[in-house]
Structures are given as structure tokens and as C-alpha cells.
Structure 1
Amino acid sequence: MYDDLTYSSMEAPSYIRFFHASPGAPAVDIYANDVKVASSLKYEAFTPYKRLKPDRYYITVYPAGTKTDPILSSYVDLRPNMDYTAAVIGTPDDISGLGILDTARRIPPNTTQVKFVHLSPNAPPVDVYANDRLIAKDVQYTERGRDLIIPADTYTISLNLAGTPTTVLVAPRQNLKEGNYYTIYAVGLAGEKPPLQIISALDKASY
């Protein structure tokens, strides 16, 4: 799903969604050039994609219901005909932002596209498996794996300590449907609360 923020132009628009991936941080309000684009966004939640004019935007993030002391502020540049996820990441005493380009390749019938993004601030580098298939290797915090086309199916997603057979997280029953584009995020804290977990999100090219 996406929202139309009064965009009108002959130029191809940009699309951006916001993702609260900072474990332990409060719900947030988010502004782009002083226009509110997210209200009371809770940990693990996404906004719909917002359609915006390609431009540079000043993004500010506040604890929900306030607008005095931002917990994060940053510029983002949006290019025409591009889809983005802007994630609020890190721990409450070290919050930052991360822009993720939601790329989409042409995919054959009976397949799906996946990529992995590591957003757990205290987890080590990981290898990522879909069933027994390696889909991302030695991915560190804030890094992403490459886009990969795999058969559409229901998978068990596993995270192993990079370069080892030691599994640190198993997420069964991940239904990756034909023709869809997914980003698989690792969020939370290893060995702490909220715990390390997998979130599989549909990217905009899916609809």
C-alpha cells in the first residue's frame, strides 16, 4: 500500500516508507520538511509507502506526541522512479537512520525476489539460509545482502553466525509468494529484550 502526499508532476515520483527498527525506543512521529509523514510509529511497524517529489528532504524524528527535541535528524535524497525504506535503527542511546533502496528485478514465473538487511545493533555478522539455501553471506549490522531470485515457496529462514554452522535464530513458515518482492529484516537484540527476530516485508514492487 502507499499514500499519495499531494504529488503532481510530469516527473516520475519517488516512494518511501518508514520503519521503526530501534529496539527499546518509544513510538515516534516523523516529519519530512516539517510535514508529518508518520504518527505514533511503534517498534517493528512500517508506514505505507509515501509518494513524494524527487528532492532532498530533511527528516526529523520525535518521540510520539512531541515536537521539541528530535531524537534523529538527517537529510535524504530521493531520486525519480526509486523506492526506499528509511529505517530508524540503533539503541535508544544511539539512534540513527538507514536508507535502504528497494530494488526490483524482472522475475520469472513461479519465483520471488528476496534480500536480507541486518538491523540488530548487537548481533554479530550472520549467514542467512532459506531452508538449506544460502541467500546472504557474512552480513554485518546495517548491511544488506544482494537481491536474489528463488522459487516461490514456504521457507524456514535461519541465521547462523557467519562462517559457522551455529544457528542463532530460526523463523519457520515464511511464505514467499510468486511474483512478490520481499526484504527480510533481522531486528531486536541478541540475548536481550526485545529479542532478535525476523520480519519479512513486502516491497512496493509487489503491488
Structure 2
Amino acid sequence: MFIRNDMDVSYVRMFHASPNGPSVDIYIDGGLAFKNLSFKNFSEYVQLPMGEYKIEVFPAGQKETPILIQNIKLPEKEVITIAVAGNFEDLQLIAYIEGNADNLPENESRLRIIHLSPDAPNVDVLVDGNLAFKDIGFMDATGYAQLPSGTYNLTVNLADTKDTVLTLNAELKSQKVYTIYMIGNPPNLLAIQSLDGSTFVRFQ
């Protein structure tokens, strides 16, 4: 099922990726958009017209002193995940445009990695033992790799070493687009596999 949209809007969601940040309420241009978003969780997608927005992040249930204020410029006709990233003392918003499933054959999938662990060094990611993504630094997003659909073993190593810091299994379904987010801080690293909403959106 595809959502076909001919309006000049983008689909936007928030992702709480700050390992020591509190649950938050997020306001866009003064209006409450996302409530009580906690670490490791995504909001729903909302439609926003192209333009620049003032985003304010408050501890959940409060609206006295924001812990982060940042303007974000949104393009039109994209699907975007905005991460609340960094340790609590150094928060920032980072917008990641999602890749779509255009021209993705049956029984093929797309996968990328985003490194959002503020205290972790650069990493390499191996897929079934083969180097797939190299030297990924904090806040970096890799390009998408196209892989046959199926289940894969992913190994995250310190860059240019065989020192493994995280392992996970990823199930990639036919004609779907995925991002794996590396979050948390050593030694408590986590991997969150997310189905990109762009899998289902087609702009006219």
C-alpha cells in the first residue's frame, strides 16, 4: 500500500536518541506537536509544508525552560526523521531524509546505518561477515545498501579493527527500506531497526 501525495508537504517524525535525556514534549512554532517522547522511541509522522520551523524541546509536562531551541528548514516532498541527538548537556536536532522504495525489485530491500551514540568512536558495520559500511562517525548516516530480502547478522566493530561493540539480527522484508540507528553510550550500546516511512510514500 502506497500513500500518494501531490501536495507540497513533507512527512516528519521525531526520534529521541539522547541516552541521558529526559522524556520530552516537542513544540513546533509554539504548538505542542509530540508529547512525552522517551529515549529509544519515535513519534508518529506528521505532514508539514516546506519552510523553516522553530522547534522547542521541553522536559515532558513542563513549558518553562526549554532544553533545546533550534530552527529546522524542511524541504518539500520528502520523508524525514529528526533526531534529538547528543548527551543532555549538548543536545541538537539532526534531520535525516529517508530513501524511498522507488525501483526496488521484489525480494530486494534497502538498508542504511545512522550513528547516534555520542560517546562511541567511529565504527564499521559488517553484514554476514562482509564489510558493508565503513568508518561511520557520530551523527553520520551511510548511504543505502540494496540487499536481497532476508535475515542478516550485523556486527558493529570499532573502525579499522576487529573489536566488536554490538551485534544484531536484521530482518529485511521485500521492497522495504530500513534504517538501523546505533544509540546509547558504551558499554550500553543499542541498535534500533526502523522501517522508514518513505517505504510507503510516493509524491506526485
Q: Which has the higher strand share?
A: 2
1:169 alignment partner, one of 166, 178, 191: 166
One-letter amino acid matched to 2:108: T
Q: In structure 2, list runs of 5 or more residues that go unmatched.
A: none
Q: In structure 1, list runs of 5 or more residues that go unmatched.
A: 1-8
Asked if 2 retains the 8 angstrom alpha-carbon contact of 1:23 and 1:189, the reply is yes
State TM-score, norm by structure 1.
0.90
CA distance in 2 between partners of 1:66 and 1:77 (Å) = 25
2:52 alignment partner, one of 52, 56, 63: 56
2:18 counterpart residue number: 22
2:109 counterpart residue number: 112
- 2:81 is aligned with 1:85: yes
State TM-score, norm by structure 2.
0.91
Asked if 2 retains the 8 angstrom alpha-carbon contact of 1:180 and 1:205, the reply is no
The 3-state SS of whatever aligns with 1:196 is strand
The 3-state SS of whatever aligns with 2:88 is coil
Aligned-residue sequence identity (percent) comes to 35
Asked if 2 retains the 8 angstrom alpha-carbon contact of 1:116 and 1:144, the reply is yes
- 2:133 is aligned with 1:140: no
Asked if 2 retains the 8 angstrom alpha-carbon contact of 1:61 and 1:73, the reply is yes
One-letter amino acid matched to 1:182: Y
CA distance in 2 between partners of 1:106 and 1:64 (Å) = 41
- 2:190 is aligned with 1:201: no
Please report how far the alpha carbon of residue 10 of structure 1 lies from its aligned counterpart in structure 2 after TM superposition: 6.5
